[in-house]
Amino acid sequence: MSIPADSRSGIQVLTRTADILRSLQGHPGGLTQIEIGERVDLPRSTVSRLLLALEELGYVTAVGPRGPYRLGPEIIAMSLSARRSVLAELRPFLETLSREVNETVDLSLLEADRAVFLDQVVADHRLRAVSAVGQAFPLHACANGKAMLAAMDRVDLDRLLAGPLERFTPHTITSVRALRTEIATISETGVAYDREEQSEGICAVGAVLTSVHGEIVAVSIPVPTPRFEGREDALASALLSCVASVRERLA
């Protein structure tokens, strides 16, 4: 059965609108009409018309008369609702993983150029790795952040790696070339490692849950270095098993 012309036209508008909204993700400072058009491969007149409609609905907001444009209050409200849904869905998996490895487990979200902690299950150890919910970490220096970098498209990855990489410890990777090599390995294995790169005395493994409700979410297991060494493979295996279970549940 063929789809009526009006329906096809409506689907095309929805697809183009979704593409524009996706292009604004990860760009809190906004994008100009030209930049949006380049990312979604649409004529400027089409982009302008769709942006006007989205602005009237509150889905995008313009910083100036002609932009740049960024996600608006309605999308932000939807995002907050989706995050609450993510937390409710993923918490049981985090708890199971924490019990299995007897370590703290973190859930984090990609926001601009940072990994932001959304939730944490704390293990019952006197010596343990604990971070505050809402705390943000640079992507290149933590396991969950490096896993997020490996999940990005090339344009966003190139943008994030365009500037200098800050050093936090003697172990932080500050060479873009070396980091790109590691990201390629993460893309193949699905697991990222932090070997005292963010904080001395703390290591971690991390993996991305692909895109959850349109956002890049990662799970990581931070471990004090004395308990990490020699357990890397076991921790990575447990983490990947958890990720596989979550993906199956959310499919």
d(CA 1, CA 21): 31
| pLDDT average, residue stretch 95-122 | 90
Helix 33-40 vs helix 5-24: crossing angle, to nearest 10: 120
| pLDDT average, residue stretch 213-230 | 88
Provide the CATH number for the domain formed by 80-250 in this structure: 3.30.450.40
- Residue 112, pLDDT score: 75
Q: Name the β-bridge partners of 45.
A: none
Mean pLDDT, all residues of the chain: 85
Question: Of 69-78, 181-190, 196-205, 222-231, which gets the smallest average pLDDT?
Answer: 69-78
Percentage above 70 pLDDT, the chain: 83
**With 80 as the cut, is the pLDDT of residue 133 above it?**
no
- Residue 128, pLDDT score: 57
**With 50 as the cut, is the pLDDT of residue 1 above it?**
no
What is the band of 9 on the pLDDT scale with cuts at 50, 70, 90?
low
- Amino acid code (one letter) for 226: P
Contact 179, 241 (CB under 8 A): no
> In the structure, how many helices (H) and strands (E) does the chain have?
9, 8
Nearest CA among 60, 61, 37, 38 for reference residue 48: 37
**Intervals of CATH 1.10.10.10 along the chain:** 5-71
d(CA 82, CA 65): 30
Give the list of residues 6+ apart from residue 113 with CB closer than 8 angstroms, or none: 138, 139, 160
242 sits in which H/E element: helix 232-250
DSSP category for residue 27: -
**With 60 as the cut, is the pLDDT of residue 6 above it?**
no
Neighbour order of strands in the sheet with 215-224: 136-138, 114-121, 105-111, 215-224, 202-212, 192-195
| pLDDT average, residue stretch 24-42 | 82
CATH topology assigned to domain 5-71: Arc Repressor Mutant, subunit A (1.10.10)
| pLDDT average, residue stretch 173-180 | 96
- Residue 2, pLDDT score: 43
What is the band of 61 on the pLDDT scale with cuts at 50, 70, 90?
confident
Return the higher-pLDDT residue of 159 and 203.
203
pTM of the model: 0.69
**Intervals of CATH 3.30.450.40 along the chain:** 80-250
